[in-house]
Amino acid sequence: MKIISKQEIFCKLLTVKISTYYRIYTILDKYVFKLYYPLNGLSNFSDINKVKLTINLALVESIMYLIDGLAEDGREEKFEQNAGAYFSQLDSIKSKFLDLMSSLGLKKNGLEGYIEMGEKYIRAENRIVRNKYKNINAQDIKEVVELRSSDVRLLHIIIINELNIERNDELINALWHLEVISEFENDLDDYKEDKLNGNFNMIIMYENIYGKELFCREIMGVLSNHLKDLKDRSNCLTHEEREVLDNMSRNSMKKIIASVLDLGDAQDIISPTSGSSIDSKVLSL
């Protein structure tokens, strides 16, 4: 069994490819700079403490990408058996994760639940990819859709902890729907690359379940439901909070619709006369 120490984990971050650090920056830009900081009344670098927080968030996301890489490399292992070289490394990182946060000077309260969600997601992803997307049931779909954004949700909780902000569950619950929508946007962007490399991708999952003729319609139906729930849950938020969420959801849906059209002859999927579950608010973006 390969057990890696806390020091080895930090050393592994030095071997991460430059292209991966660019992807980490895009995550910070999308979720931290344009979503979580504005929602908490922060500019990106308003003082030295925010600079330190931003650097720590980048390091946390780097650990997430390290975990992601190990999960992809271990796709042939059966993680449900709690065995294998890659699983052992992942298990080591999980067991040391809170200590890693302490080493960065970050508070640990409230993080455990998101760590558990991340583990559940990795196990579900491993099972689906190892089985070549076969024998997927409704529970599998529900699990990966609900858990895929665990990493960025963890970043938000870290921000709340470090700024000593009272946790707003109404905002966090509304945000979840936006985070799900954004994950579909990300997977649409990565669809071709992930298909080529054999990596997990929700779009590929839907394609394998529903077939080439129907999978885009199914995805758009799911997104329509999350948009509706986002709107309903946003009613209790402040005007400023709603504005931040509306801007991101609008931008995400524009990109999603463009990506869906790029997958093929999908014009009827977002046509108002097609009977699709996408409502007029999405069509007007």
Query: Is the pLDDT higher at 279 or at 183?
Result: 183
Q: What is the identity of the amino acid at 97?
A: F
**What per-residue confidence (pLDDT) applies to 15?**
62
pLDDT surpasses 90 at 1: no
**What per-residue confidence (pLDDT) applies to 106?**
92
pLDDT per residue as tens digits for the range 249-271: 999 999 999 998 888 654 445 44
Whether the CB-CB separation of 180 and 149 falls below 8 Å is answered with yes
**What per-residue confidence (pLDDT) applies to 46?**
59
CA–CA separation, 137 vs 145, rounded Å?
Answer: 13
CB contact set of 18 (below 8 Å; sequence gap of 6+) = none
Query: Is the pLDDT higher at 275 or at 27?
Result: 27
Mean pLDDT throughout 263-283? 47
Which residue, chain included where needed, has tokens 């558990």? 116
pLDDT per residue as tens digits for the range 29-83: 999 999 999 998 886 555 666 888 999 999 999 999 889 999 999 999 999 999 8
Q: For the residues of 257-273, what is the DSSP string, one character each?
A: HHHHHHTSS-GGGG-TT
Percent of the chain with pLDDT over 90: 65
Range with the poorest average pLDDT among 14-28, 137-151, 192-206: 14-28
**What per-residue confidence (pLDDT) applies to 3?**
55
Number of H helices, E strands in the chain: 13, 0
CA–CA separation, 20 vs 61, rounded Å?
Answer: 10
pLDDT surpasses 50 at 272: no
Whether the CB-CB separation of 141 and 167 falls below 8 Å is answered with no
CA–CA separation, 137 vs 225, rounded Å?
Answer: 19
**What per-residue confidence (pLDDT) applies to 2?**
55
**What per-residue confidence (pLDDT) applies to 39?**
94
Q: What is the identity of the amino acid at 26?
A: T
Query: Is the pLDDT higher at 239 or at 262?
Result: 239
**What per-residue confidence (pLDDT) applies to 276?**
43
The number of beta carbons lying within 10 Å of the beta carbon of residue 135 is: 9
pLDDT per residue as tens digits for the range 117-144: 999 999 999 999 999 999 888 888 999 9
Q: With bands split at pLDDT 50, 70 and 90, how would you rate the model's confidence at 9?
A: low
pTM comes to 0.88
| H-helix or E-strand spanning residue 127 | helix 112-130
Instruction: Give the chain's mean pLDDT.
Output: 86
Q: With bands split at pLDDT 50, 70 and 90, how would you rate the model's confidence at 284?
A: very low
pLDDT per residue as tens digits for the range 166-199: 999 999 999 999 999 999 999 999 999 999 999 9
